A and B are shown apart, each in its own frame.
Chain A
Amino acid sequence: MNGADQSGLFERAVLPHLGSAYNLARWLIRNDQDAEDLVQEACLRALKSFEGFRGGDARAWLLTIVRNSCYTWLRENRLQELATAFDEEIHTGEEDSPSPEALLLQGANTRLVQDALEALPPEFREAIVLRELEGLSYREIAGLCGVPVGTVMSRLARARQRLERHLTDSVQKGGLP
């Protein structure tokens, strides 16, 4: 296959997933410009290794490369963020969970949800982004992040618990618009 055929094939397989790639990078990096630069760099890297791509899910393949680029960037620029401990336990149902209505009400307040999600450590943030925004299955997320399926479920559990706590705390502090 020559260069032009190769890049034509690459375009058709990979470029449709640019939106997903950017969404993941933007959530991990939390900055428009750096996220775009990283996606661009990741696409070039993907093109170079495209011959190694043997069909299958092009989106998952591209997202894996984008994710690796993002973590390299975070290690170089925001090491502190990666080191943040998140040893929150999964809480039992005995705690007074807020009523679902309170959460629903805040669902309308995008800014609040966005802040809460951005406050999560990257591994937990990406689990939510891949599951809720990209609609990936546990198995796909596990493959992408290189962790067992059980870890994906426990990360999602802890991430959701933290998000819910963050949202109800904001309400109690009068965070509602």
Chain B
Amino acid sequence: MSCPENQALIHGYVDGELDLLSTLQVEAHLKECAACARAYENHKALSRALRSGPLYFRPSANLEQRIRAELVESGATAIRPALSPREGSRRRPPSWAWLGVAASVVLVVLAVGWFVTKPFNTPPDRLVAQEVLAGHVRSLMASHLTDVPSSDQHTVKPWFDGKLDFAPPVEDLSAQGFPLVGGRLDYLEDRPVAALVYQRRKHFINVFIWPSTAQSAPRSVMRQGYNLIYWTSSGMTYWAVSDLNYTELSDFVRLFQDRASKTVSP
């Protein structure tokens, strides 16, 4: 095998991309041609230098945040038109349920009941989840995390007076490792809501609060890598959202609920 032919193949050899026959040919050539052997050593040295690490460019942390925020925005616009046809088809009982009337009237009633109530529960929550998440991401992006930056609940709570037509419970959980960072007004579900910001290490937790008449135990949902836990009690709806892991976020929710139930009388 001639040298020029080998010069190209040597690169395939360096990269481990040659078939067995070509590999054996190159190896045989390298044994007898000093110039090619030196070139081979050079290519390997260069390869090592390139792979050594410092040449790999890393994006700023900011880039991922920017992209996630854009995804939330486009996810929010994509979900709305997609909802109505699904809602329609879910509301309709499936045809087999009606065919089964003879077999069991009870079954049909149950099936219809489930299919009728389901769309009333799930999709609104999903829309709120999307809004809550967008609110959370926006608060971190626009460097507008808080309107009233304070770790003192007695500063944050009065700040909401006169800005909202309800008094959100503001709890101090710093002793439990969730220091209060501050409060903020936000807008969700077509109304102004209270947003409390807590911190756990480098993670922020937004708790959105607004009045509600329903009562429900905490439920959770994961959206785009964020954990959301929501519940209703004592006339308020709460949504806690963070990129914190689920276990710690639910610890936080338990602590928060515990405190809030003592300060808010139903």
Of B51-59, B92-100, B145-153, B163-171, the one touching chain A: B51-59
How far, in angstroms, from A94 to B35 measured CA to CA in the complex? 6
Chain A nearest CB from B79 CB (Å) reads: 4
* Residues of B with C-beta under 8 A to A93: 3, 6-7, 33, 35-36, 38-39
* Residues of A with C-beta under 8 A to B67: 15, 18, 39-40, 43-44
Q: B46-95: which have CB < 8 Å to A?
A: 46-52, 54-60, 62-64, 66-68, 70-72, 74-80, 82-83, 86
Is B259 interfacial (CB 8 A cutoff)?
A: no
* Residues of B with C-beta under 8 A to A157: 7-8, 10-11
Residue of B3, B47, B60, B224 touching A11 (CB-CB under 8 A): B224
Whether A3 lies near B79 (C-beta < 8 A) is: yes
Chain A nearest CB from B30 CB (Å) reads: 10
Residue of A4, A97, A117 touching B42 (CB-CB under 8 A): A97
Is B200 interfacial (CB 8 A cutoff)?
A: no
How far, in angstroms, from A6 to B57 measured CA to CA in the complex? 29
Q: Which of B6, B8, B11, B12 has most A Cβ within 10 Å?
A: B11
Q: Would you call the interface of chain A mostly helix, strand, loop, or mixed?
A: helix
How far, in angstroms, from A63 to B225 measured CA to CA in the complex? 22
* Residues of B with C-beta under 8 A to A15: 64, 67-68
Is B43 interfacial (CB 8 A cutoff)?
A: yes
Is A55 interfacial (CB 8 A cutoff)?
A: no
User: With contacts A104-B45, A164-B42 known, is A7 near B74, CB below 8 A?
Assistant: yes
Whether A6 lies near B78 (C-beta < 8 A) is: yes
Whether A138 lies near B17 (C-beta < 8 A) is: yes
Q: How many of A's residues come within 8 Å of B, CB to CB?
A: 57
User: With contacts A97-B38, A99-B38, A107-B45 known, is A11 near B66, CB below 8 A?
Assistant: no
Chain B nearest CB from A66 CB (Å) reads: 12
Is B203 interfacial (CB 8 A cutoff)?
A: no
Whether B64 lies near A113 (C-beta < 8 A) is: no
Is A10 interfacial (CB 8 A cutoff)?
A: yes
Q: How many of B's residues come within 8 Å of A, CB to CB?
A: 60
Whether B78 lies near A107 (C-beta < 8 A) is: no
Whether A153 lies near B75 (C-beta < 8 A) is: no
Whether A90 lies near B76 (C-beta < 8 A) is: no
Is B242 interfacial (CB 8 A cutoff)?
A: no
How far, in angstroms, from A164 to B17 measured CA to CA in the complex? 21
Is A128 interfacial (CB 8 A cutoff)?
A: yes
User: With contacts A36-B59, A40-B66, A43-B67 known, is A3 near B75, CB below 8 A?
Assistant: yes
* Residues of A with C-beta under 8 A to B225: 11-12
Is B162 interfacial (CB 8 A cutoff)?
A: no
Chain B nearest CB from A25 CB (Å) reads: 9
How far, in angstroms, from A141 to B40 measured CA to CA in the complex? 22
Whether B75 lies near A40 (C-beta < 8 A) is: no
Is B254 interfacial (CB 8 A cutoff)?
A: no
Whether A44 lies near B64 (C-beta < 8 A) is: no
User: With contacts A8-B224, A93-B7 known, is A114 near B35, CB below 8 A?
Assistant: no
Whether B46 lies near A103 (C-beta < 8 A) is: yes
Residue of B36, B45, B63, B82 touching A100 (CB-CB under 8 A): B45
Is A132 interfacial (CB 8 A cutoff)?
A: yes
Is B130 interfacial (CB 8 A cutoff)?
A: yes
Whether B74 lies near A44 (C-beta < 8 A) is: yes
Q: Mark B238-265, 1 if CB is under 8 A from A, else 0.
A: 0000000000000000000000000000
* Residues of B with C-beta under 8 A to A47: 71, 74
Besides A7-B72, A133-B56, 19 other CB < 8 A contacts? A4-B224, A6-B75, A15-B64, A23-B57, A26-B57, A26-B59, A35-B59, A43-B67, A98-B42, A103-B46, A103-B49, A132-B50, A137-B17, A138-B17, A153-B8, A156-B11, A160-B46, A164-B42, A167-B46
Chain A to chain B contacts (Cβ below 8 Å), 16 pairs: A2-B78, A4-B129, A8-B222, A11-B71, A11-B224, A15-B64, A15-B67, A19-B58, A35-B57, A40-B67, A40-B70, A100-B45, A110-B52, A113-B49, A133-B51, A163-B46
